[in-house]
Amino acid sequence: MQVHLKIWRQPGPADAGEFVQYTVDAIAPDLSFLEVLDKLNEQLTESGALPVEFDHDCREGICGACGMMVNGQAHGPQQRTSVCQLYMRNFQNGDTITIEPWRAKAFPVVKDLVVDRSSLDRIAVAGGYISVKTGSAPDANAVLVAKPSADTAFDYATCIACGACVAACPNASASLFTAAKIAHLALLPQGRPERKKRVVKMTQQMTKEGFGDCSNHGECQSVCPKGISIDAIAQMRREYIRAHLPF
Amino acid sequence: MQLNARIPDGPLSEKWTTFQDRCKLVNPSNKPKHKILVVGTGLAGAAAAATLAEQGYQVKSFCIQDSPRRAHSIAAQGGINAAKNYPNDGDSVWRLFYDTIKGGDYRSREANVYRLAQISNQIIDQCVAQGVPFAREYGGLLANRSFGGAQVSRTFYAKGQTGQQLLLGAYGALMRQVAAGRVEQFPRREMLDLVVVDGQARGIVVRNLLTGEFERYEGDAVILATGGYSNVYYLSTNGKNSNVTAAWRAHKRGALFANPCFTQIHPTCIPVASEFQSKLTLMSESLRNDGRVWVPKKAGETRSPQDIPEADRDYYLETRYPTFGNLVPRDVASRNAKQVIDEGRGVGNTGLAVYLDFRDAIAQQGKSAIESRYGNLFEMYQRITGEDPYAEPMRIYPAVHYTMGGLWVDYHLMSTVPGLFVLGEANFSDHGANRLGASALMQGLADGYFIIPYTLGNYIATTDLPEVTIDDDAFGEAEASARARTLKLLSIKGDRTVLDFHRSLGQLIWQGVGMTRSKGELEETIEKVRSLRSEFWQNLRVPGEATTLNQNLEFAGRVADFMELGEVMAQDALAREESCGCHFRTAYQTAEGEARRRDDQFSTAAAWQYQGDEQPATLVEESLSFENVELTQRSYK
């Protein structure tokens, strides 16, 4: 099959960008979406043009490096799928596909489809961990964790920090990202001693980075490649209130 | 050159504690005066950086990704071994040690492997305390499952995302130290050279991947935790950015590279579907707990799998290895798959696959039980192939997955360059000629959390470290050479792209140094790799500039190093005239077609020393002595 790709090209953070249209032929339905971009880049390189820069690594939907808007949807049309796991069998011959970088104030464009997501690391630095010194842990079975709590904590812990939730949110909020970590750690007994400090500091940092707040649109959970539920945000709100109670 | 593994004296079970008791310590008030450079932020690198910072050292942490959390450890699926014996099924430190050394076909050091087994339990404690959400039983206790090469259930897991959860635990620990001001992070930096001053590793040169600038950093020690080199094969299960560059440049500065031909071909990957495929996807080995591997009994079978009756199916692993069945080690499973495929009994459109069937497990345990164990893997399979593995068997094929070889290190995890420590997959230490499932995560975290804090401290406390600055000549020379190599790649302006060269290299290495190896093919591979390398430096086309983000340029530098490594891999495979673990020389096999070791000559680690560009590397051997285990023909029957 043949597809036309309308791609956002931007040489650098301070430069103006524009859409440029390309055509890629001879695409097998078993090809992944990123492999089509590889193919385009080979074409561009051979013709002496500059290839399209895009972040990617594992191509198994787990490292969170890749991410782009595909026809206006973060990671493209298939739910619970990062763009590296999107296959061309989801498209039709002759389709024109629009590809843009994540757009958010807290994610400045670096080049083409590559954005700077270091703001997410800084939210993690603000408290996305349990303070435990190496070597000081008790036996792993010393603290029981009810299976439902452990399972739900796991579901929240699967966040890959790709930034799709931010890109899809009308407020460019990182609430789902931040809440997923807060909820994961609050659900486990090991995470409870720091729960109050954690929620306050992480949400403060989120605001400081220029992310908006949540107004319950729910776009984030629709595009999340890991299917993380917006319930995390409700949990984060409860944690926030709890942090301000005197007991 | 003589290799000294510096293994402590005393009985096997006391070596590590003896070392811990006797090693020199750095006074807590002196630790903040020492700068440590840690390259790589996977399990080993993040764990090391976080732990050393906790102890008070000044740590600088480097990674090529935009965030340390994206290191390829994140993609490990199945689990992490530990000798906890929670299931009360007979496990012990000794048994984990024994299974690991046997699984590696007796080509690793007893002392290192025993220490790994001893530390395994502490790792689980540490990770649980960090909030890693391991699978649990209804009573709230931790759950375990079985993995290949073991008859006990000792694997801890978080669905099929164990690597992700462990890495995020280590990443959290690292972020905590960033908050404390003890770790400075340098993402999107690629190490392009090691700086050696007066024989000691004292710094690195990195390229800032966003600006293209070369940067120099000095330190009292350099820790490489930069992963494996599976991407030399082009198609592998590694992330696209995984590479050998940092390790290879250190090799060229004097670090010996050991057992480069020991590369693991994982039996359960999704088969290649298209010519333009960029990578392969692993399906966790844990699937072999419940999935049954089979092919049709007769060659040229055309019926769909559901229509093939029981009598016409060959569950070849179960018949050939009744004791271990579908859970034989990876090398054995891969080789058997190749064998039945070579007999014309492969399945799918290409014929390059075998079935992994869950029909019986679903019938016995119910779909929901299978879904809770492997749900995300089944989803991944369906997404990639468009087929439903609940309804029809998966098709799987072996793919390169992990490299046991790596920079040679002694018991202290120090390379042959004093002050250069190598952790995790980047070193060669613990897995011999074949790694058992769920052991990579164990090793990475053991190295980073529990070993390096002691051995690095001992080095700092016992070594005279004169002051160096980034203005020293050695830094200038290293930067100039890294810069020249990078700019040369851009200046060739030939006709072939990096990807095209990489694919050609991968095909050569897969054919020559893949699942089976022979003298003739290896000699031919060496010649072909040399000529491809020469063409690479004359006919490469890298678009763009060096002063901006240029992923093609990054890849070109990595492929250039793979071109050199590939030759040494073939050289190593040629020199090892025996079969062991993953290394199957067709001339050395038993009557039953299993690997035939030659312990009298090859109970060694083969460490290769760089001799200059376009000069063949030379071999230095470390003899392995086995005082506690009896070397037997591995049998999983």
The ipTM estimated for the assembled molecules is: 0.98
CA distance A44 to A23: 11
Q: Which of A195-209, B170-184, B375-389, B403-417 has the lowest mean pLDDT?
A: B375-389
Residue B143: DSSP 8-state:
P
Please indicate, yes or no, if residue A107 is contained in any of the structural domains.
Answer: no
Q: Are residues A38 and A122 in the same domain?
A: no
Contact of B242 with B231, CB cutoff 8 Å:
yes
Please indicate, yes or no, if residue B567 is contained in any of the structural domains.
Answer: yes
Taking phi first (over 0 means left), then psi (-120 to 50 degrees means alpha), and beta for anything else, what does residue B490 get?
A: alpha
pLDDT confidence tier of residue B185, bands split at 50, 70 and 90: very high
**Of the residues A100, A130, A150, the one at which a domain ends:** A100
Count of CB atoms situated within 10 Å of the CB of A179: 33
Q: Are residues A42 and A72 in the same domain?
A: yes
Report pLDDT for B160: 84
Please indicate, yes or no, if residue A93 is contained in any of the structural domains.
Answer: yes
Residue A135: DSSP 8-state:
T
With a CB-CB cutoff of 8 Å, which residues 17-36 of chain A face chain B?
A: 28, 30-32, 34-35
For position B356, which CATH number holds? Answer: 3.90.700.10
Contact of B461 with B24, CB cutoff 8 Å:
yes
Q: Are residues A53 and A148 in the same domain?
A: no
Is beta strand B35-39 parallel, antiparallel or unpaired with respect to B221-224? parallel
Q: Are residues A94 and A17 in the same domain?
A: yes
Please indicate, yes or no, if residue B69 is contained in any of the structural domains.
Answer: no
Using a CB–CB cutoff of 8 Å, tell me whether A88 touches chain B.
no
CA distance B549 to B570: 34
Phi, psi values for residue A206, rounded to 5°: -60, -45
**What separation in angstroms does the CA of B69 have from each of A175, B42, B90?**
19, 8, 36
Angle at B343 (CA atoms; ends B337, B348), nearest 5 degrees: 65
Count of CB atoms situated within 10 Å of the CB of A129: 27
- Tell me which residue range forms the domain holding B305: 265-400
Report pLDDT for B283: 86
Report pLDDT for B636: 83
Q: Are residues B387 and B490 in the same domain?
A: no
pLDDT value at B34 more than 90: yes
Which residues, other chains included, contact B484 with Cβ-Cβ below 8 Å and sequence gap of 6+?
A: none
Please indicate, yes or no, if residue B551 is contained in any of the structural domains.
Answer: yes
**What separation in angstroms does the CA of B121 have from each of B44, B112, B556?**
16, 16, 41
User: What do you get for the CA distance between the two ends of chain B, in Å?
Assistant: 41
Compare CB distances from B129 to A56, A58, A137 and report the shortest one's residue: A137
- Best of B118, B276, B385 to mutate (most A CBs within 10 Å, chain A): B276
Please indicate, yes or no, if residue A124 is contained in any of the structural domains.
Answer: yes
pLDDT value at B284 more than 90: no
* B149, amino acid identity: G
**What separation in angstroms does the CA of B618 have from each of A241, B214, B282, B622?**
66, 31, 35, 13
Encoded tokens for B123: 């790792």
- Closest alpha carbon to A7 in A158, A113, A92, A83: A113
pLDDT confidence tier of residue A189, bands split at 50, 70 and 90: very high
pLDDT value at B12 more than 90: yes
pLDDT value at B597 more than 90: yes
**What separation in angstroms does the CA of A242 have from each of A180, A191, A205, A237, B509?**
17, 14, 19, 9, 59
**What separation in angstroms does the CA of B549 have from each of A45, B14, B39, B150, B178?**
15, 51, 20, 46, 26
User: What do you get for the CA distance between the two ends of chain A, in Å?
Assistant: 63
**What separation in angstroms does the CA of A224 have from each of A156, B444, B472?**
11, 30, 49
- Closest alpha carbon to A74 in A221, A215, A207, A177: A221
pLDDT value at A147 more than 90: yes
- Best of A9, A47, A132 to mutate (most B CBs within 10 Å, chain B): A132
Contact of B600 with B452, CB cutoff 8 Å:
no
**Of the residues B400, B434, B461, the one at which a domain ends:** B400
Element (H, E) at B361: helix B359-365
Q: Are residues A51 and A137 in the same domain?
A: no
Q: What share of chain A is helix, strand, coil (3-state, %, to 5)?
A: 40, 15, 50
For position A236, which CATH number holds? Answer: 1.10.1060.10
pLDDT value at B637 more than 90: no
Please give the biggest Cα pair distance in chain B.
74
Report pLDDT for B376: 81
Using a CB–CB cutoff of 8 Å, tell me whether A213 touches chain B.
no
Q: Could you tell me which residues are beta bridge partners of residue B421?
A: B223, B414
CA B328 remoteness from chain centre: 19
Q: Where are the alpha helices (DSSP H) in B27-92?
A: 43-54
Report pLDDT for B420: 98
- Closest alpha carbon to A97 in A54, A46, A33: A33
For position A91, which CATH number holds? Answer: 3.10.20.30
* B308, amino acid identity: I
Closest residue in chain A to residue B50, using alpha carbons only:
A134
Please indicate, yes or no, if residue B280 is contained in any of the structural domains.
Answer: yes
Residues for chain B: how many in total?
Answer: 637
CA distance B47 to A135: 12
Which residues of A fall within a CB distance of 8 Å from B179? Answer: 125-127
Report pLDDT for B78: 84
Report pLDDT for B507: 95
Phi, psi values for residue B218, rounded to 5°: -110, 155
Q: Are residues A70 and A148 in the same domain?
A: no
Residues A187-216 have a mean pLDDT of: 98
pLDDT value at B377 more than 90: no
Compare CB distances from A131 to B176, B185, B274 and report the shortest one's residue: B176
**What separation in angstroms does the CA of B433 have from each of B260, B567, B584?**
10, 19, 10
Which residues, other chains included, contact A244 with Cβ-Cβ below 8 Å and sequence gap of 6+?
A: none
Q: Are residues B502 and B373 in the same domain?
A: no
**What separation in angstroms does the CA of B628 have from each of A186, B90, B431, B433, B576?**
46, 20, 17, 19, 24
Which residues of A fall within a CB distance of 8 Å from B168? Answer: 157
Which residues of B fall within a CB distance of 8 Å from A89? Answer: 386
**What separation in angstroms does the CA of A115 have from each of A75, A120, B66, B72, B206?**
14, 12, 9, 20, 21
pLDDT confidence tier of residue A95, bands split at 50, 70 and 90: very high
Report pLDDT for A187: 98
Taking phi first (over 0 means left), then psi (-120 to 50 degrees means alpha), and beta for anything else, what does residue B325 get?
A: left
For position B546, which CATH number holds? Answer: 1.20.58.100
Burial group, residue B611, by CB count within 10 angstroms (0-12, 13-18, 19+): exposed
Would you call B131 and A185 a contact, using CB atoms and an 8 Å cutoff? yes
Q: Are residues B488 and B394 in the same domain?
A: no
Element (H, E) at A197: helix A195-208
Would you call A184 and B69 a contact, using CB atoms and an 8 Å cutoff? no
Mean pLDDT across chain B: 96
Q: Are residues A121 and A223 in the same domain?
A: yes
Residue B426: DSSP 8-state:
G
pTM for this prediction:
0.97
Q: Are residues A140 and A38 in the same domain?
A: no
- Tell me which residue range forms the domain holding A62: 3-100
Please indicate, yes or no, if residue A112 is contained in any of the structural domains.
Answer: no
Q: Are residues B482 and B589 in the same domain?
A: yes
Using a CB–CB cutoff of 8 Å, tell me whether B66 touches chain A.
yes
CA distance B163 to B75: 6
Q: Are residues B363 and B491 in the same domain?
A: no
**What separation in angstroms does the CA of B369 have from each of B62, B142, B391?**
42, 17, 15
Please indicate, yes or no, if residue A109 is contained in any of the structural domains.
Answer: no
Residues B581-585 have a mean pLDDT of: 96
Encoded tokens for B7: 């293994």
Residues of chain B above pLDDT 70, percent: 100
pLDDT value at B380 more than 90: no
CA distance A61 to A41: 21
How does DSSP assign B24-43, residue by residue? Answer: ----TTTGGG-EEEEE--SH
- Closest alpha carbon to B448 in B166, B190, B204, B245: B166
User: Residues B334-362: pLDDT tens digits?
Assistant: 999 999 999 999 999 889 999 999 999 99
pLDDT confidence tier of residue B605, bands split at 50, 70 and 90: very high
CA distance B428 to B414: 11
- Closest alpha carbon to A224 in A180, A186, A189, A183: A180
Please indicate, yes or no, if residue A180 is contained in any of the structural domains.
Answer: yes
Please indicate, yes or no, if residue B544 is contained in any of the structural domains.
Answer: yes
Q: Are residues A133 and A76 in the same domain?
A: no
With a CB-CB cutoff of 8 Å, which residues 57-76 of chain A face chain B?
A: 57-65
User: Residues A54-79: pLDDT tens digits?
Assistant: 999 999 999 999 999 999 999 999 99
- Closest alpha carbon to B541 in A54, A46, A51, A35: A46
pLDDT value at B285 more than 90: no
The set of catalytic residues of B is: 330
Into how many domains does chain B fold? 2
Q: Are residues B482 and B389 in the same domain?
A: no
How does DSSP assign B518-569, residue by residue? Answer: -HHHHHHHHHHHHHHHHHHHHHEE--S-SSS--HHHHHHHHHHHHHHHHHHH
Q: Are residues A96 and A124 in the same domain?
A: no
Into how many domains does chain A fold? 2
Which residues of B fall within a CB distance of 8 Å from A150? Answer: 133-136, 140
Count of CB atoms situated within 10 Å of the CB of B22: 9
Contact of B70 with B435, CB cutoff 8 Å:
no
Please indicate, yes or no, if residue A110 is contained in any of the structural domains.
Answer: no
Closest residue in chain A to residue B76, using alpha carbons only:
A62
Question: Distance from B509 to chain A by nearest Cα, in Å?
Answer: 21
Q: Are residues A33 and A87 in the same domain?
A: yes
Q: Could you tell me which residues are beta bridge partners of residue A23?
A: A4
Question: Distance from A78 to chain B by nearest Cα, in Å?
Answer: 9
Q: Are residues A239 and A136 in the same domain?
A: yes
User: Residues B128-161: pLDDT tens digits?
Assistant: 999 999 999 999 999 999 887 888 999 999 988 9
